[in-house]
Every structure is written in C-alpha cells, then in structure tokens.
Amino acid sequence: MSKQYFVIGEIRDGKLRQVSLEALQAARLLAEDKSHIHAILIGKQLDEITNEFAAYVSSQLFVVEDDSLASYSAELYSSAISNVIGQQDAVIILGHTAIGRDLAPQLAAKLNAGQISDVTAIEGQTFIRPIYAGKAFEKKKFTDEGTQIITIRPNNIPIAEQAASPASIEKVSFSAPSDLRAIVKDIVRKASGKVDLAEAKVVVSGGRGVKSVEGFKPLEQLAEVLGGAVGASRGACDAGYCDYSLQIGQTGKVVTPILYIACGISGAIQHLAGMSQSKVIIAINKDPEAPIFKVADYGIVGDLFEVVPILTEELSAAKQV
C-alpha cells in the first residue's frame, strides 16, 4: 500500500498560517501520487479556514473540532492527529514553528516515528537542514519505512498552488481523554505584532545599540513602511528594551525573511543562528569591525538613529510615487 501524506494545518489568531501551505508543497515534492496527500485541521469553529485550506489540498481534509481543542495542547493535538492516522504508516509534515517544534516530538513518541526537523530544502527523498548556526548544511534520509515526521522552516519552500478541485472534507469526532496531565485555561499574549515574525518577508531587528525601549520606535516605523515585523537580539531582550517574544537567535525564533535589517546588532553567533539564512541582510552599526558585517550583503557604518529615519523617509516617499 502506498504511503499516505498528512499535512498539519496550523492556525494563529484565527487564520491559517502560511507555513501550512509551504508544508503542503513539501508533500507534493515528496509524494509520487498526489491523491495520497491529505491534511488535518484541529481547533474550534473552523468553517472559514476549512474552506480556505480545502482549496489547496489534493485529496481529503480531515477536520477535528471540539471545545477542548480551542487552544493548542501537545497532548490533545497529538491524540487528535493519531486518531485520524490510525495504525497506517504515514508521512506527517508540519511547520517548524513554536507549535511544530513542540508537537512533532510528541507525535514521534506516540507513533514510534522517525523525525527530521528544520528542513529548508528537499531533493528527491533527501532533506536538507542547516547546522552549526547556519554555517553548514546536512543531508538526511529516513532509513525506516515506518511513520515519518518532518518539520519545515518557514519561508524556505514555496507556497503550494491551489488544487485542481477542492478536497473532500471529513469531520472527525473527538473527545478529550479523561486523564490529561495539563489543561490550557487561558493564553495571554505579551506581544501581538501586525505581522507574524516567523513568516515575515521583512524583519527589522534591534540589538543593544537601540539603547532603550524608546529606541525601538524608529525600527517599528521602518518595519511598518516595509510591511514587516520587528525582532530583537538576546542582548536587547536581556536589557529590557523589548519582550522576549521578539528574540531571534539560537534560544529564540529562527527567521528566514527576504530582507533582514540588523540595527545596532554586533553579530554574536547566538543571534546569527536565528537569521543567517535570510535572503538579503543589511547591517547598520557604528562599529566598522562588528561581526555582523561579515554575514551582511550590505553594510552601513553609522548611527542607527540617523540612518533608520532616513531610510524610513526615503522608502515612504518611494511608495507614494
């Protein structure tokens, strides 16, 4: 029997995340028979998102709705997914996001599956992923034909095009287990940017060079003009200039935007691990010897508080033309 592919749709703030469509394209690159590509949506009140996602899925879209699934829980979501997949060997693909990084190992343990994480490219049945803070890449393959789990780094694999015809939708009943070890009561967000940092095409980041909470305002203005998101180095977060939810780096978020603008960031290896695979990197720093210039495509030696407002003004004027 041919292996079935299941893409896990991820929802954030009531919207389908872009990485879900990238994961779907990954499935198309891997599957010989596109009719074996399915998807799973989990949550509550999913009618609108279901119709949106179904337009891209080749075969079946399984929708698991229950009040207990309104908020993400690795225990509940892994149970819902395993209920859909059953005992068959399958390939499960999801985004390498905060949820994906948490959910994938839980699924791997539950389904006795192999796992390859943080994939940035696919060649045949070979998966490419960065190592050593993006300084090198490794190629990996599954050696077992059982269930396989893959997480895809956002902004690296193209978005899937719509399918020739919408997928058939199958509602799957679900009841929360009575022996749950944890229950999500509420979620409080400290930062809620207009653009999702993990999927932003443009990221403007600040380091210790921003000097204060107020120092991030010019960066926010530049990001708004570019339709991007604001990020930060660990140094800026440790100094209390911004919330840790904005942290980019080895212990923060990993981003791969088309354009990354580093403002007042020295370029420590910890930070480079989270952004070195950006398509174009612009560094703004007063220190001409700052390590960030070694990875930057373009460098501006100057005071960010002088440079950034000029960039914002010029770009804003250019958009009006």
Higher pLDDT, 145 or 219: 219
Query: Per-residue pLDDT tens for 256-301?
Result: 999 999 999 999 988 998 998 899 999 999 999 999 999 999 999 9
Amino acid at 78: S
Query: Per-residue pLDDT tens for 73-86?
Result: 899 999 999 999 98
- Band (pLDDT 50/70/90 cuts) for residue 194 is low
Instruction: Please state the pTM of the whole predicted model.
Output: 0.83
Terminal CA-CA length for the chain: 58
Query: Per-residue pLDDT tens for 175-185?
Result: 877 777 777 76
CA distance 72 to 59: 25
Predicted pLDDT of residue 132: 82
- Secondary structure (DSSP) of 152-180: E-TTSSPPPPPPSSPPEEEEE-----TT-
CATH number for the segment(s) 197-320: 3.40.50.1220
Q: What is the DSSP letter of 208?
A: G
- Band (pLDDT 50/70/90 cuts) for residue 319 is confident
CATH 3.40.50.1220 domain span(s) along the chain: 197-320
Question: What is the pLDDT averaged over residues 237-247?
Answer: 93
Predicted pLDDT of residue 1: 56
- Band (pLDDT 50/70/90 cuts) for residue 200 is very high
Contacts of 8 (CB under 8 A, 6+ apart): 20, 23, 39, 40, 42, 81, 92, 93, 94, 95, 100, 103
Question: What is the pLDDT averaged over residues 32-45?
Answer: 91
Question: What is the pLDDT averaged over residues 124-148?
Answer: 90
Q: Is 70 exceeded by the pLDDT of residue 190?
A: no
Question: What is the pLDDT averaged over residues 134-158?
Answer: 92
Q: Is 80 exceeded by the pLDDT of residue 144?
A: yes
Fold of 4-172: Rossmann fold (3.40.50)
Predicted pLDDT of residue 165: 87
Distance of CA 247 to the CA centre of its chain: 14
Q: Is 90 exceeded by the pLDDT of residue 237?
A: yes
* CA distances (Å), origin 263, targets 215, 271, 289, 306: 10, 13, 14, 11
* CA distances (Å), origin 177, targets 37, 69, 184: 28, 12, 14
- Band (pLDDT 50/70/90 cuts) for residue 188 is low
User: 């929802």: which residue's tokens?
Assistant: 11
Token reading at 236? 């800026």
Query: Are 113 and 87 spatial neighbours (Cβ–Cβ below 8 Å)?
Result: no
CATH 3.40.50.620 domain span(s) along the chain: 4-172
